Amino acid sequence: MRGRGSELCRPLPTGSHAQVQLQAADPVRLAVFPRRDRHDCYQHHEYGVLMQAAWLRKQSGQAVVLVAVAVLVLTAILALALDGGAIYLDKRQLQNAADSAALAGAELLMAVPPSYTAIHNQAMLNLLQNLPGTSKAGTACSASCPNLKTIGIPVAGVGSINLTAGYFVELSAPTSYTYQVSVWHTHPVAVAPIHGFQSTITLAARATAQNANLPYAVVLLQDKPAYAQWSNFSINGTPGSITMQGGGGAGNRGGMFSNASIAPGNGAPSIIFSPGTDQGDLWAVNESAADRTALNGAGVVQGQHTLSPIPLAGTHLDFPNYPEPVPPAVS
């Protein structure tokens, strides 16, 4: 172990103003005057060490602030990674469940007349299989869904059919050939509340499926609203009639659909669903009063499934807008 004097202070030549080099672990250069004794050197060393300690304490306060800011940034990144990823996966699962249920329900739209109970039941069963922890107990579909076009009409922004586990549903058949499923989920978030965000977020998904296999033997499309009530189906002759054959079962029933109006021929019968009864129906979007009166004449329409009204109210089907065929060449 070195002596205190030789370790701490190094002698310098006498003369004018000079400096002393301290030999501590963290040296501090201090200005001293010549002819100062070794005791002065020790005093300057102690003063320098005290100043250095004060400076370090000041810097440690700044480090606390930097660490706090770093923690906030890191937790924000963690929230984005964990909560954001979980929300994305939940949203994807929700949309897949809605898509699958809409397709399942739309399969039964072609029944004549449609059974909304059967349609909703099939869609509901599909949802319960794809949404974890769900149950229909205690809902409108607890035993069997009601025979209504729309069930679970939203209340406070979410469907009123509560499947538990935070899932809410609305099921609807807005038209005779489309089926819609809307699903909401109250998703819990884990890290975001640390930064003052809410502890849950409501996710929503909606899917609409269309059944292209419409239950019509004849489909008549009128794409010009100005002619909406023109008879785009008319039977000429006295008597004049058209017969649509059916296989006798509910799945084989056919019918006629018009975007405009259906006019029967003169005399009776004019439109026949065969064989027997309960074979099909007529639908019209814009049936004129004159055509309706003629269709409802005694014996004019025979063998239909729905006795009244004739025709049933239809929903406008979009015209496919196919290009007109090229006229034949003149020979």
> Domains of the chain: which residue ranges?
94-210, 218-313
3-state class (DSSP) for residue 166: coil
Contact 319, 221 (CB under 8 A): yes
User: What pLDDT score was predicted for residue 306?
Assistant: 79
d(CA 209, CA 331): 48
> Which comes out higher in pLDDT, residue 207 or 11?
207
Least confident of 22-31, 177-186, 208-217, 314-323: 22-31
Contact 55, 47 (CB under 8 A): no
Q: Which residues of 184-211 are buried (b: 16+ CB within 10 A; e: fewer)?
A: bbebebebbeeeeeeeebebbbebbbeb
> Which comes out higher in pLDDT, residue 84 or 107?
107
pLDDT (tens digit per residue) in 260-300: 888 887 778 888 877 666 667 888 888 888 889 988 988 88
Q: Which two tokens stand for residue 191?
A: 């890290």
Contact 81, 191 (CB under 8 A): no
Q: Which residues of 108-130 are buried (b: 16+ CB within 10 A; e: fewer)?
A: bbbebebebbbbbbbbbebbbeb
pLDDT averaged over the chain?
76
3-state class (DSSP) for residue 154: coil
Confidence band of 166 (pLDDT split at 50, 70, 90): very high
